[in-house]
Structure 1
Amino acid sequence: MEIRKAPHPSPKFSVMKPIIFFATLLTLSLVGYRSGTPPTMHGKVYDQQTGTAIAGVFITVEGALATTQTDSLGRYAISAAIGQFLVFSHTGYEAKRIKVGNKNPLDVPLNPSQVSAVETMMTGYGTQHRMALVGNTGGIRIRGIADATYSPLMILPQSVNTESYKRIAENHFSDPLDAPLSTFAIDVDAASYSNFRRFIHNGQLPPADAVRIEEMINYFQYELASPTGGEPVAIHTELATAPWNPKHHLLRIGLKAKSVPADKLPASNLVFLIDVSGSMMGSNRLPLAQASMKLLVDQLRGNDHVAIVTYAGSADVVLESTPASQKIAIKDAIDALHASGSTAGGAGLQLAYRIARQHFIKDGNNRVILASDGDFNVGPSSDNEMEQLIAKERQSGVSLSVLGFGMGNLKDSKMELLANKGHGNYAYIDNITEARKAMITEFGGTLFTVAKDVKVQVEFNPYKVQAYRLLGYENRLLEKEDFNNDEKLGGDMGVGHTVTALYEIVPAGVESAYPGDVDPLKYQSAKDRRTVGNSREVATVKFRYKDPDGAKSRLQQVAVADTPVALASASMDFRFASAVAELGMLLRNSDFKQQADYDQLIARAKGAKGKDDEGYRAEFIRLAENAKLLAQSDGLAVQNY
């Protein structure tokens, strides 16, 4: 875990920082009123006996499944309307339920409660903990642990954040004279965006490594022409001025998967693999997972089948494979689940795959759907062990989709790895609206693959291009030889999916700091751009894919003409996607953000909102506005994990 250490503040700064913090939260609150969304309530939670701040308090909006957690100074921020109830709960304290009124900030005292502290701790509640001492707990029976009693002095924890994110080494600019090919596997995951939204709603900026630019861009659907001639995927390109550097160009590559009517989709053999360990306690964990799975059940047809496997200290089959026509029986089995115990995720995966293989449907949609926070702690649990397990299981033709839940202990790195290696997709579900998006609005794209192992390779023309940089996809880069190697995994595209990739291009002859200066080579003659080629093409884009049940890939390609347009003349989708990318660079504090600016990206997103029936683009604009305020105050910026 890397923690960014701020410089020691001056006395004046120390005085001003709380003022800026509360001013920011007040502004966020006003933004909430102006946009028609619930206002942002904020305040501090403290021990009623000692007056000290309490970190890690879980705060839930009753009936809305919105949740947050206090920071190290006991502060919180959460969207809640007047008349709703906030529930405050924490290990070792009595829960408190408060009706939202006009008072804002709302400071909340909690009373210590030793018995509830013991019970909560031993069922694996929420986040991981730091040790503290309480007394007089002898003879207490612990839920989920048979015949367990504990001594009069019990060591109890205090909450700390144990979320984990894979380190991102940001893509640099490359010179096509040295590296003419850029190769990557496509990524349809959108988990990073909903996770970023969760941080902003909680009054925090996300850790840099939680921001995967490609997932933020691909959270949104874009208007692209569907494939023709029986092809499963169509390819589109667009070239315009780069918003954050007018001397540079931005190349957009868009892929569009074919749409298939619901009655033409293949039958599904699904196994719901649900984490019911203690870490899944809390309204934004197991209850939200249950609600999400029931939304999915409502979309299934009579020829689909569902089995349910759970895991805590061990893995169990809760429901054998059952026709989806028996929706009440399936939902009853989901409703009966409760959280307790440790987390044998590896055993759960093995059992779920075994059940899926037993009921395998030839030419059907065979898939395990994992709902978890990824916090495995019994049996195989490391990222390497998980990768080996999934690599073996995917040979059976069973795919793996991953739904992430929870906060404070989310193992994002593990969840992303499982989906990437399991021929599936990864979504982070932070509220019931996101569950609806994944399970209903994008039902086909989430579950039904039309092209697998999709890879993209771009060859840049050095006569036209001085340097290029791929925005995002750092976790999906491939060697140039991997493009033609059908043994190397790509990404999968589902029904109706769109995928967008952006390249920043430095045109030949433009004065630029990129790609940088190196000494002349001693053993090779320097290449001359003028002799490499003089075509009117900037690049050629190729992509490979396999049919869902195929083993040999097929190739498509398209050339990109050197005819960039002004940014204002680019399509609305181009301008909106560039705004999302620009926000991602600012959140990551990218070394290549150049003239990126919150105000300009917000204005561009507003002008490119277009048709927005579901309100996702309008929500992005509000999130960008709030991110700007948080970045200015720097009062609630979080650590890098």
Structure 2
Amino acid sequence: MTLHSTGYLYYSGASGGFGITSAKVEDSVTLQLDGYKVCTFLIKSTKENNFVLPLLVKKASQPEKRLMSITRDLKPADLARFSVGGETYSSLRENDYMDAGKFPTIDFAVNTDKASYSNIRRFLNMGSTVPPDAVRIEEMLNYFTLEHETPAPGEDFHISTNLSECPWRPANQLFYVKISAKKLDFTQIPPSNLVFLIDVSGSMDMPNRLPLLKSAFKLMVDNLRPIDTISIVVYGGTVGVWLQPTSGGDKEKIHKSIEELSPGGSTAGESGILAAYKLAESTYIPNGNNRVVLATDGDFNVGQTSEEALERMIVTQRQKGIYLTCLGVGMGNYKDSKLEVLAKKGNGNFAYLDNEKEAEKVLVKELTQTMYSVADDALLHVSFFPENVKNYRLIGFDNKFSALSAEGEGMLEGGEVGTGHTLMAIFELTPVEKYDSSASLATIELSYKLPKDSVQHKMSKLIKDSHIHSFQTLPDTYRMAAGISLFGSVLKESRFVKPANLQDVLTIIQPIAKTDNLLQQELIGMVEKAKKIYYKGKASKLKANLFW
């Protein structure tokens, strides 16, 4: 539940009870529950309030049907049976160990979203525990710059791997796969046709919503070029073009237009996005970066029929070369947001902006990664050799239970990869008792398409060298990645890392965190905050449980 006057989130206990404090006689709340429609209600402190959430009608286009990873030769419906009961707090099913002899190959999308990390930071800054299904470990890893490696001349990607001891399970190993995308020369990047679609409804009238977006877009505009074109469409009390197509060089005019935005009225999202795409089509730049940038504080909800038509329209526009990027502010659990699935349909990405520093990171420092892609429909395919690997488990890239049900078998969709992006995927391996030095460890295949091209490209790598690093001698980039994944796993209350705790996370990351790396220092601060929240009164006495 979200209390609108404060923006705070509340979660019911085992009995379904809430404890809520509001300084207002009248307030409004948004209620969310898996399987039910998200609704906003007016509440009055002077009387008892009763609300009923209507059941959602299952639709083929629901975001839950989209798979993040899939094990070959294993039906999603059968995969659901591997789940351990009792974890009813989460709609995500954490990836389990797979028998490399029966199911040697796993496929997963190259996911470049980073929103989960900033969402986790927001919860911790509020002094709140983090909902387990708000933790997406692959997005936490994406948030950090993990030592980009330049691809060879003529190549679009560089693939590197490493193998080490597993700090939370000494008998196992961690296998790291790092993918680095080529960096585009900013001076040679094609012109952009950007349409900002901004929610100016009444709910945006909070410091961490419309004012934050205004600051974010002004920072972004400062880094655009005269050859770029900017337009603004707003939706709230009315829908309309706020700024006609304008050169990126006319910064004063664009800044003035952004500054004059003010909130008011109700949301009219469907009309807004239709108007934005219509404008993007009218200013389309052949071979350019044509993109709608949607910014809002809540789910982009429309009627059932309109929703399906809207998604089809977004897919059609993607096929024409107009992509969709979504920015969320002041929201609840973004993973339940319609924004994420719309961004995927539009072959774009989704970021959560919880403060101005994050806005600067996404829209200034990482502007090219956010807005310019080097590959579409990117998928990784990893096959393990049973001669050396008994079982394997992909960390992160978890699927929702409903995507694994018999009636909801989902499709695995590839992802868009921005220029210079580095992806880290980590597997936990159970080795065979007797290692076969003549056999390989794994094969890695990356399949993708170039932007606006239908030809599929592939590059592969055979991993023969199975040298196992002790965890202490592993390069810092990989140790930091392991620490980040352990942080996410502990927040998710993962059964696979017990008895590890947050002190173990600090034991891994503190010795290698660079004093001049603000993101790494912030990570340490977040783990310290989490210790105080999760181990109330016991944080100072918490001992590390790992021995490695």
1:573 matched residue in structure 2: 477
Say if 1:181 and 1:57 are closer, same or farther in 2 by CA, change over 3 A: closer
Which amino acid in the other structure matches residue 456 of structure 1?
A: L
Is the contact made by 1:468 and 1:504 (CA closer than 8 Å) also made in structure 2?
yes
Q: Secondary structure in 2 aligned to 1:224? A: coil
Which amino acid in the other structure matches residue 531 of structure 2?
A: K
2:141 matched residue in structure 1: 217
- Does 1:633 find its partner at 2:536? yes
Per-residue CA distance 1:281-302 (angstroms, 9 max, x = gap): 2111111111111111111000
1:376 matched residue in structure 2: 300
1:337 to 240, 243, 261: 261
2:155 to 231, 239, 264: 231
1:421 matched residue in structure 2: 345
1:273 matched residue in structure 2: 197
2:510 matched residue in structure 1: 606
1:131 matched residue in structure 2: 43
Is the contact made by 1:450 and 1:548 (CA closer than 8 Å) also made in structure 2?
yes
1:215 to partner: Cα distance = 0.4
2:99 matched residue in structure 1: 175
Is the contact made by 2:108 and 2:381 (CA closer than 8 Å) also made in structure 1?
yes
1:634 to partner: Cα distance = 9.7
- Does 1:539 find its partner at 2:442? yes
Which amino acid in the other structure matches residue 207 of structure 2?
A: S
2:377 matched residue in structure 1: 453
Coordinate RMSD, CA, aligned: 3.2
Per-residue CA distance 1:475-525 (angstroms, 9 max, x = gap): 499x9xxxxxxx974111112111111111110128xxxxxxxxxxxxxxx
Per-residue CA distance 1:88-139 (angstroms, 9 max, x = gap): xx6x74xxxxxxxxxxxxxxxxxx5xxxx59x99xxxxx944532769xxxx
Say if 1:255 and 1:179 are closer, same or farther in 2 by CA, change over 3 A: same
1:382 to partner: Cα distance = 8.4
- TM superposition score normalised by structure 2: 0.80
Which amino acid in the other structure matches residue 621 of structure 1?
A: I
Say if 1:408 and 1:534 are closer, same or farther in 2 by CA, change over 3 A: closer
1:141 matched residue in structure 2: none
Distance 2:130 2:486 in 1: 15
Q: Which moved more, 1:543-552 or 1:458-467?
A: 543-552
Say if 1:368 and 1:634 are closer, same or farther in 2 by CA, change over 3 A: farther
Is the contact made by 1:466 and 1:505 (CA closer than 8 Å) also made in structure 2?
yes
Is the contact made by 1:192 and 1:211 (CA closer than 8 Å) also made in structure 2?
yes
Distance 2:335 2:273 in 1: 16
Distance 2:438 2:400 in 1: 30
Is the contact made by 2:301 and 2:338 (CA closer than 8 Å) also made in structure 1?
no
Is the contact made by 1:203 and 1:630 (CA closer than 8 Å) also made in structure 2?
yes
Per-residue CA distance 1:238-277 (angstroms, 9 max, x = gap): 1111121111111111111122232111110000011112
Distance 1:610 1:215 in 2: 21
Is the contact made by 1:242 and 1:504 (CA closer than 8 Å) also made in structure 2?
yes
2:68 matched residue in structure 1: none
- Does 1:396 find its partner at 2:320? yes
Distance 1:475 1:606 in 2: 31
Is the contact made by 1:238 and 1:252 (CA closer than 8 Å) also made in structure 2?
yes
2:124 to 200, 203, 207: 200
- Does 1:501 find its partner at 2:405? no
Is the contact made by 2:134 and 2:334 (CA closer than 8 Å) also made in structure 1?
no
- TM superposition score normalised by structure 1: 0.69
Distance 1:574 1:58 in 2: 43
Say if 1:205 and 1:302 are closer, same or farther in 2 by CA, change over 3 A: same
Is the contact made by 1:383 and 1:417 (CA closer than 8 Å) also made in structure 2?
no
1:373 to partner: Cα distance = 2.1
1:584 matched residue in structure 2: 488
- Kindly report which structure 2 residues correspond to 1:266-415, keeping only aligned pairs within 5 A, or say none: 266-379=190-303, 387-408=311-332, 412-415=336-339
Distance 1:603 1:340 in 2: 49
Distance 1:199 1:280 in 2: 20
Which amino acid in the other structure matches residue 629 of structure 1?
A: K
1:633 to partner: Cα distance = 2.5
Which amino acid in the other structure matches residue 256 of structure 2?
A: D
Distance 2:448 2:155 in 1: 10
Say if 1:279 and 1:157 are closer, same or farther in 2 by CA, change over 3 A: farther
Which amino acid in the other structure matches residue 472 of structure 2?
A: A
Is the contact made by 2:108 and 2:412 (CA closer than 8 Å) also made in structure 1?
no
Runs of 5+ unmatched residues, structure 2: 12-17, 30-38, 54-61, 65-90, 404-410, 539-548
Is the contact made by 1:463 and 1:508 (CA closer than 8 Å) also made in structure 2?
yes
- Does 1:262 find its partner at 2:186? yes
1:549 matched residue in structure 2: 452
1:621 matched residue in structure 2: 524
Aligned residues: 480
Q: Secondary structure in 2 aligned to 1:370? A: strand
Say if 1:571 and 1:394 are closer, same or farther in 2 by CA, change over 3 A: same
2:355 matched residue in structure 1: 431
Say if 1:156 and 1:411 are closer, same or farther in 2 by CA, change over 3 A: farther
2:541 matched residue in structure 1: none
Which amino acid in the other structure matches residue 348 of structure 2?
A: G
Say if 1:386 and 1:574 are closer, same or farther in 2 by CA, change over 3 A: farther
1:442 matched residue in structure 2: 366
Q: Secondary structure in 1 aligned to 2:344? A: helix
Distance 1:491 1:331 in 2: 32
1:385 to partner: Cα distance = 5.8
Distance 2:10 2:243 in 1: 38
1:383 to partner: Cα distance = 6.8
Q: Secondary structure in 1 aligned to 2:230? A: strand
Is the contact made by 1:464 and 1:538 (CA closer than 8 Å) also made in structure 2?
yes
Q: Secondary structure in 2 aligned to 1:462? A: coil
Distance 1:449 1:623 in 2: 31
Which amino acid in the other structure matches residue 286 of structure 2?
A: K
Say if 1:634 and 1:430 are closer, same or farther in 2 by CA, change over 3 A: farther
Is the contact made by 1:464 and 1:507 (CA closer than 8 Å) also made in structure 2?
yes
Q: Secondary structure in 2 aligned to 1:600? A: helix
2:166 matched residue in structure 1: 242
Say if 1:378 and 1:176 are closer, same or farther in 2 by CA, change over 3 A: closer
1:314 to partner: Cα distance = 4.6
Is the contact made by 1:130 and 1:157 (CA closer than 8 Å) also made in structure 2?
no
Which amino acid in the other structure matches residue 521 of structure 2?
A: A
Distance 1:472 1:371 in 2: 27
Distance 2:415 2:519 in 1: 24
1:70 to partner: Cα distance = 8.4
RCO comparison, higher one (Cα < 8 Å, 6+)? 2
Which amino acid in the other structure matches residue 619 of structure 1?
A: E
Distance 2:336 2:199 in 1: 15
1:448 to partner: Cα distance = 0.8
1:98 matched residue in structure 2: none
Q: Which moved more, 1:226-235 or 1:424-433?
A: 226-235
Identical counterparts, % of pairs: 37
Distance 1:251 1:409 in 2: 30
Say if 1:299 and 1:130 are closer, same or farther in 2 by CA, change over 3 A: same
Runs of 5+ unmatched residues, structure 1: 2-54, 60-66, 76-89, 94-111, 122-126, 136-154, 480-486, 511-529, 636-641
Q: Secondary structure in 2 aligned to 1:469? A: strand
2:75 matched residue in structure 1: none
Say if 1:264 and 1:251 are closer, same or farther in 2 by CA, change over 3 A: same
Is the contact made by 2:515 and 2:521 (CA closer than 8 Å) also made in structure 1?
no
